[in-house]
Chains A and B, each alone.
Chain A
Amino acid sequence: MSGRKYAFSWNLLGDINIGRPHLGNQTRVEAYRLMQFTLRDVIEAKYGTEEADAVFYAAGKMAGQAFYEYYLKGIEDVGEFVRELQAKLKELKIGILRVESMSEEVGKLVLTVDEDLDCSGLPEIGFGICVYDEGFIAGILENFTDTPYVVKEVDCWCTGDRTCRFSAVRAH
Chain B
Amino acid sequence: MSSPFRLEAKDGLSELDEAVEYFHSLMFDPRPKDRLPSSLEGNEKALSLENAIRETRRVLQKMRRGEYDYSVSTKGLVGGLLKALQSNLRHVIWTARCISEGDLSQRIDFMGEFSEVFNLMTLRLAEATQNLKEEAERWRLALESSQDGVWDINIRDLDNPFLSHNFLEILRTPFEAMPPIRRWGEFIHPEDIEALEVIRACLDDSYPKSTLDLTFRVKCGDDVFRWRSAKGQVFRDEAGHITRLIGVIGDIHARKMREEEISRRAMHDALTRLPNRELFGQQIHRMMAYASRTGTCLALAMLDLDNFKQVNDTMGHHAGDLLMVEVGRRLQKSLRQSDLVARIGGDEFVMLLPCATPNHEGLLKVMERLRANLSRPVDLDGTPYSITVSIGLAVYPCDGDDPLTLMKCADVAMYRAKALGRNAWCFWNPEGDRKEPQPPSQV
| Cβ–Cβ contact A83 & B106, under 8 A | yes
Contact flag A160-B80 (CB < 8 Å), given A83-B106, A83-B107, A86-B109: yes
> Is the Cβ of A124 less than 8 Å from the Cβ of B75?
yes
Residues of B within 8 A of A102 (CB): 94
Query: Are A161 and B90 in contact, with the CB atoms below 8 A?
Result: no
**Is B98 in contact with A79, judged by CB distance below 8 angstroms?**
yes
Contact (Cβ within 8 A) B83 A98: no
Shortest Cβ distance from residue A88 to the other chain B in the assembled complex, whole angstroms: 13
Contact B76 A98 (CB under 8 A): no
Does A155 belong to the interface (CB within 8 Å)? yes
Contact A100 B90 (CB under 8 A): yes
A61 contacts chain B at the CB level, 8 A cutoff: no
Which parts of A95-140 form the interface with B (CB within 8 Å)? 96, 98-102, 110, 112, 114, 124
Which residues on A sit within 8 Å (CB–CB) of B72? 161
A159 CA to B74 CA, complexed, in Å? 10
Residue in A closest to B94 when the chains form the complex, CB atoms: A99
Task: Give the docked Cα–Cα distance between A2 and B83 (Å).
Answer: 48
A101 and B80 form a contact (CB under 8 A): no
Q: Return the contact of A79 from the options B76, B105, B110 (Cβ within 8 A).
A: B105
* Cα A124 to Cα B79 with chains together (Å): 13
A100 to B87, CA, bound (A): 6
Q: Give the Cβ gap from B38 to chain A, nearest Cβ, in Å.
A: 29
Q: Mark B71-104, 1 if CB is under 8 A from A, else 0.
A: 0100111011101101110110011001000010
Flag if A77 contacts B103 (CB, 8 Å). Answer: yes
Interface contact A161-B103, CB-CB below 8 Å? no
Give the complex CA separation of A165 and B90 in angstroms.
Answer: 12
**Interfacial chain A residues near B110, Cβ < 8 Å:** 96, 114
Question: Is there an interface contact between A160 and B76, defined as CB atoms closer than 8 Å?
Answer: yes
Interface residues of B in 30-85 (CB under 8 A from A): 72, 75-77, 79-81, 83-84
Q: Given the complex of chains A and B, what is the CA–CA distance between A99 and B109 in angstroms?
A: 12
**B105 in contact with A161 (CB, 8 Å):** no
Closest approach, in angstroms, between the C-beta of B95 and any C-beta of chain A? 8
Query: Is residue A167 within 8 Å, beta carbon to beta carbon, of the partner chain?
Result: no
| B84-A163 in contact (CB<8A) | yes
Is the beta-carbon distance between A98 and B88 smaller than 8 angstroms? yes
The residue that B91 contacts in the complex, of A80, A100, A161, with Cβ under 8 A, is: A100
A162 CA to B84 CA in the complex, in Å?
8
Distance between Cα atoms of A99 and B91 in the complex (Å): 5
Chain B nearest CB from A97 CB (Å) reads 9
Measured in the bound complex, the distance between the Cα atoms of B84 and A114 in whole Å is 8
Question: How many Å from the CB of A77 to the closest CB on chain B?
Answer: 7
Contact of A159 with B75 in the complex, beta carbons under 8 Å? yes
Contact between A114 and B77, CB atoms less than 8 A apart: no
In B238-264, the 8 Å CB interface with A consists of: none
Residues of B within 8 A of A163 (CB): 80, 83-84, 87
Chain A 50-98 residues near chain B, CB threshold 8 A? 77, 79-80, 82-83, 86, 90, 96, 98
Interchain CB contact under 8 A, B83 and A155: yes
Name which residue of chain B comes closest to A98, CB basis.
B91
B87 contacts A161, CB within 8 Å?
A: no
Q: Which residue of B lies closest to A86 (CB)?
A: B109
Task: Mark out the residues of chain B between 108 and 133 whose CB falls within 8 Å of any chain A CB in the assembled complex.
Answer: 109-110
How far, in whole Å, are A161 and B98 apart by their CA atoms in the complex?
A: 28
Q: Which residues of A contact B84 (CB under 8 A)?
A: 112, 114, 162-163
Q: How far is the CB of B140 from chain A (nearest CB, A)?
A: 25
Chain B residues, Cβ within 8 Å of A96 = 109-110
Contact indicator A79/B87 (Cβ below 8 Å): no
Q: Pick the residue among A83, A86, A161 that contacts B80 (CB under 8 A).
A: A161
Q: CA–CA, A152 to B88, complex, Å?
A: 20
Asked if A98 and B90 sit within 8 Å, CB to CB, the answer is yes
Chain B residues with Cβ under 8 A from A90's Cβ?
109
A98: which B residues are within 8 A, CB to CB? 87-88, 90-91
B63 → chain A closest CB, angstroms? 15
Complex Cα distance, B81 from A157, in Å, reads: 11
Q: Which B residues touch A82, using CB under 8 A? A: 98, 106
Among B86, B87, B106, find the residue whose CB has the most chain A CB atoms closer than 10 A: B87
User: Nearest B residue to A102 by beta-carbon distance?
Assistant: B94
A-chain residues with CB within 8 Å of residue B87 when the two chains form the complex = 98, 100, 112, 114, 163, 165
Q: Which residues of chain B come closer than 8 Å to A160, judged between CB atoms?
A: 75-76, 79-80
For window 145-172 of A, CB contacts with B under 8 Å fall at: 155, 157, 159-163, 165
Q: Report the minimum CB–CB distance from A4 to chain B (whole Å).
A: 40
Is A101 touching B94 in the complex (CB atoms < 8 A)?
Answer: yes
Chain A residues whose C-beta falls within 8 Å of the C-beta of B77 in the assembled complex: 162
B residues less than 8 Å from A114 (CB atoms): 84, 87, 110
In angstroms, Cα B80 to Cα A110, docked, is 17
Q: Do A124 and B76 touch across chains, with their CB atoms under 8 A apart?
A: yes
Once the chains bind, are B91 and A79 in contact (CB under 8 Å)?
no
* Chain A, Cβ-Cβ closest to B97: A102
Q: Which residue of B lies closest to A97 (CB)?
A: B91
Q: A98-B91, A102-B94 are in contact. Are A79 and B106 (CB under 8 A)?
A: yes
B77 to chain A, nearest CB (A): 7
Task: Name the A residues within 8 Å of B81 (CB-CB).
Answer: 162
Q: A98-B90, A101-B90, A102-B94 are in contact. Are A165 and B83 (CB under 8 A)?
A: yes
The 7 A-B pairs with the shortest beta carbon distances in the complex, nearest first, are: A162-B80, A160-B75, A79-B103, A98-B91, A100-B90, A112-B87, A98-B87
Between A and B, 21 residue pairs with Cβ closer than 8 Å are A79-B98, A79-B103, A80-B103, A83-B105, A86-B109, A90-B109, A98-B90, A98-B91, A100-B86, A100-B90, A101-B94, A110-B90, A112-B84, A112-B87, A159-B75, A161-B79, A161-B80, A162-B79, A162-B80, A162-B81, A165-B83
- Contacts beyond the supplied A82-B106, A86-B109, A159-B75: 18 A-B pairs with Cβ under 8 Å: A79-B105, A80-B105, A83-B105, A96-B110, A98-B90, A99-B95, A100-B86, A100-B90, A100-B91, A100-B94, A110-B90, A124-B75, A124-B76, A155-B83, A160-B75, A160-B76, A161-B72, A165-B87
